[in-house]
Structure 1
Amino acid sequence: MDIEANVNFVDEEVLRTRLSNLNAMAYGSPELLAELKLLEDYLTSLTGAGPRLDTASDTTFPPGKDTGEIAGLINALQTCEGHYRGAKSFELACSAALKYVFREDFDQWIEQSSVEEGFHRLDLLAHLKPVSQFWSAIRSDFRTRYVVFEFKNYPSELPQAAIYSTEKYLFTTALRSVAVLVARSGESKGARKARHGALRETGKLIITVSMLELIEMIEMRARGDEPSIILQHKLHDMLMGIGR
């Protein structure tokens, strides 16, 4: 029986869950990840379903999950005002979301952490105690014990300068070489170029996540999927696309 027929008999969510698990196991193998991405795209073409960027209002979670907490996390992100007026609310909403999404992979979360004797202040600093294969690989591959999380509530795409600002907080000798930057509206081409430069020239890894992608990770966690798949795909694309 071909794959088109099987889609009619196997629940789409089951197939996507299996793909998520396979993606997690395939970390470190660009060839296998590329093959799985083709399979995922083909499944999407058969079902007509696009990326899950929907909201809690039309999302169904498995029985036993705290849908009130999940809806609250998503609503807190969606109701933040853009730019300076909503900056603090956005920071708090992102912090709460990340602590829910990655609660098994970090054992310490330090908000507004000071570095360089108080001259710089990080939005959120977390100590890695990884459980998932993705974060275990990140700790090993990039020799980091801490991950910096920064939150940018810009109403437009993240500018290049924001990457340079975050890069200053990363130090490979202090085992703090990785940052995840949550940008409300995603990143610009200049920001992407700056991230590639930081990795190529200094070995510092900066991954950007949009607000919609963070919401998708909340929903994935609620369904029992592996939310770090989104970061894994971003890292894969970055490593494959980086040049001299």
Structure 2
Amino acid sequence: MDDMRYNKTKNDWRIEMGYSNSARLGYEFESIIADIFRSYGFTATLTDGKYHDIDVIKGEIKLAVEVKLFRDIKANNNAVLSAAEKVCHSAKESDFIPVIVSGNVVDERIRVRLKEYPTLFIVDIQNLLYLVDNDEVLRSRLLSVLSFSTDDLLPQESTELKKYNLNKLPPQKALHEDLIERIKKWEPSLKENTLYEKLCTDVIKYLFDSDLALWKEQQKSNDDLFRFDLICKIKDGTNKEFWTMAEKHFGTKYIIFEFKNYTEQITQKEIFTTEKYLYLKALRGIAIIISTKGSDKNADKAIRGTLRENGKLIISLTNEDLIEMIERKAIDDNLPAEFLSEKLDNMLVNLEK
């Protein structure tokens, strides 16, 4: 399913249990686009999707926005052409300006063809990256719904949006500072496991929003005996060393995360439990365990044994590790993955026979 949208009924924005991950991401992407416009002082209202997706209004400026998101880095040409016809018809009826917002790169040839609609303009992923460049929260949310890496894409200003005063936002409150503060204030308590899972998920999304996708939380095994907290998919096209090594040398496309809000260090028991979630033939050979106090000596020994004997990689991280990675991320987007590479290097160099 290339188009990540789904059919909505009027005023029905529920993401029910039966909806696909693509549907969930499509809805989240619409919400992000609405929030981007709101951050620039517009009123943005999600519609029922019958004619277009979002009404965007500020004063006399009225935009009819059709939102498209696809799995591949390039937008589906036929779908964009179809969306153009739809939104232009809708905008004409309501006296709005038609806009297509795509979370992908729109081919220049399609842009040329769409000049037959003189009032229509297109905003693609490079324009969106420009708009959220100074807002860590919006940028992280945007990147997290994409199935592909944007490492090779450069933010570009939209000349059309500039006419409506959508220039780059001034720097917003730093998300990384808020996350560091939340971690430093954290007091491990078994009664707050859910809150710790939320904190860790927020941190992982911030650290690896440009590297990982899917973000599927709290998964049970088929027999309901085991449960892991989060599973992510390595984005297509990522060029950071740790993720390319994960794919090429560990045959891994999916990363499992476990969050342990323990008052003591985790033991080999937690390592062996996590190992059961890993299946090399299912492209799932790496797990990352985050715990408040880290792992004890026996757990570290079990981690090395799992790697040596079964080729499964388990990395143990502490709250302090999270803080260091957040600080690195604030400097350079590549550094959190580099931190994981350093962890792996130390493990492989010191791996006993």
Q: Which residue of 2 aligns with 1:153?
A: 261
- Change in CA separation of 1:201 and 1:219 when aligned onto 2, cut-off 3 Å: same
2:175 corresponds to which letter in structure 1?
E
> Where do 5+ consecutive residues of structure 1 fail to align?
1-63
Q: Residue 243 of structure 1: SS of its match in structure 2? A: coil
Q: Which residue of 2 aligns with 1:100?
A: 206
Distance 2:218 2:279 in 1: 18
> Where do 5+ consecutive residues of structure 2 fail to align?
1-169
Alignment size in residue pairs: 181
Q: Which residue of 2 aligns with 1:162?
A: 270
Matches within 5 A, 1:58-77: 66-77=172-183
Is the 8 Å Cα contact of residues 115 and 121 (structure 1) preserved in structure 2? yes
Q: Which residue of 2 aligns with 1:243?
A: 352
- Change in CA separation of 1:157 and 1:65 when aligned onto 2, cut-off 3 Å: farther
Q: Residue 227 of structure 1: SS of its match in structure 2? A: helix
Kindly provide the CA deviation profile for residues 41-70 of structure 1, in whole angstroms up to 9, marking residues without a partner as x: xxxxxxxxxxxxxxxxxxxxxxx7654422
1:85 corresponds to which letter in structure 2?
K
Matches within 5 A, 1:23-38: none
Is the 8 Å Cα contact of residues 80 and 89 (structure 1) preserved in structure 2? no
Q: Residue 147 of structure 1: SS of its match in structure 2? A: strand
Question: C-alpha displacement at 1:117, in angstroms?
Answer: 4.3
2:226 corresponds to which letter in structure 1?
H
More helix by share: 1
Q: Which residue of 2 aligns with 1:111?
A: 217
Q: Which residue of 2 aligns with 1:187?
A: 295
Distance 1:117 1:65 in 2: 48
- Change in CA separation of 1:202 and 1:160 when aligned onto 2, cut-off 3 Å: same
1:83 corresponds to which letter in structure 2?
S
**TM-score, scaled relative to structure 2:** 0.49
Kindly provide the CA deviation profile for residues 52-109 of structure 1, in whole angstroms up to 9, marking residues without a partner as x: xxxxxxxxxxxx7654422222222233331312221111101000011011111211
1:125 to 231, 241, 247: 231
Is the 8 Å Cα contact of residues 267 and 296 (structure 2) preserved in structure 1? yes
1:232 aligns with 2:331: no
Distance 1:133 1:65 in 2: 30
| More contact order relative to length (CA 8 Å, sep ≥ 6) | 1
RMSD: 1.6
Q: Which residue of 2 aligns with 1:222?
A: 330
Q: Which residue of 1 aligns with 2:283?
A: 175
Q: Residue 213 of structure 1: SS of its match in structure 2? A: helix
**TM-score, scaled relative to structure 1:** 0.70
2:187 to 72, 81, 86: 81
- Change in CA separation of 1:128 and 1:159 when aligned onto 2, cut-off 3 Å: same
Higher Rg: 2
1:198 to 298, 302, 306: 306
Distance 1:66 1:132 in 2: 27
Q: Residue 185 of structure 1: SS of its match in structure 2? A: coil
- Change in CA separation of 1:155 and 1:65 when aligned onto 2, cut-off 3 Å: farther
Kindly provide the CA deviation profile for residues 154-174 of structure 1, in whole angstroms up to 9, marking residues without a partner as x: 122221111111111111111
Kindly provide the CA deviation profile for residues 117-167 of structure 1, in whole angstroms up to 9, marking residues without a partner as x: 433221000011134122111111100110001011112222111111111
1:145 corresponds to which letter in structure 2?
K
Distance 2:208 2:274 in 1: 21
1:90 to 196, 212, 217: 196
Q: Residue 81 of structure 1: SS of its match in structure 2? A: coil
